[in-house]
Amino acid sequence: MELDLNQVRELLLMFDQTSVTELNLKSGELELQLRKGEHLSSSSPPVVTAASPPAPPVLAADSEPTPPPANRKTVDIAAPMVGTFYRAPAPDEPPFVEVGDRVTKGQVVCIIEAMKLMNEIESEVNGQVVEILVQNAAPIEYGQPLMRILPN
């Protein structure tokens, strides 16, 4: 059985949404090893992602992003999948967050549409949104930073 690119993308999306932590797949000449989790062994091969130029930050009306203090580091919310980035739940609704908003861990901050599914993306930390790095309805890549949070 040969897999096409769309089938591989669908497999990656499903893998990301399950509690399965490791998957090995061989199909023809394709050999795919997937692992997820925070603690990978040092023998794991490195993950390589394509670099894309950063998009200009999206600012709240008439405001500038609050620069983080020099001694504090921001946390990037990165795209867990390839898809289309949406700031609001629907075109006629307000964005989930704006620059300067306070967010809590687990709060939905955007949506990524992938394969006709709307995936809610949550903040991983409590803090303040200091930058939104992607324009609404823009295509995004796996691992691409979407926004920056200054943790509390």
- Cβ atoms of 87 and 99 within 8 Å: the answer is no
Domain annotation covers residue 132? yes
Domain annotation covers residue 56? no
DSSP assignment letter at 108? E
Domain annotation covers residue 119? yes
Residue 145 and residue 79 share a domain? yes
DSSP assignment letter at 21? -
The residues with which 85 forms a beta bridge, in sequence order, are 112
Domain annotation covers residue 46? no
Could you read off the pLDDT of 17-56 as tens digits, one per residue?
A: 777 777 777 766 767 777 776 444 444 444 433 334 444 4
Domain annotation covers residue 101? yes
The count of domains in the chain is 2
Q: Return averaged pLDDT per consecutive 10 residues of the chain, 152 residues in all.
A: 68 74 72 64 41 45 49 87 95 95 96 94 96 96 96 92
Residue 82 and residue 23 share a domain? no
The pTM (predicted TM-score) of the whole model is 0.55
Question: Measured at the alpha carbon of residue 134, what is the angle toward residues 144 and 12, in degrees to the nearest 5?
Answer: 35
Domain holding 16, by residue range, is: 5-35
pLDDT given for residue 70 in this prediction: 52
Domain annotation covers residue 122? yes
Residue 137 and residue 81 share a domain? yes
Here the CATH number for the domain that contains residue 132 is 2.40.50.100
The CA distances from residue 97 to 29, 56, 81, in Å, are: 44, 17, 20
Residue 80 and residue 29 share a domain? no
pLDDT given for residue 2 in this prediction: 64
Residue 84 and residue 145 share a domain? yes
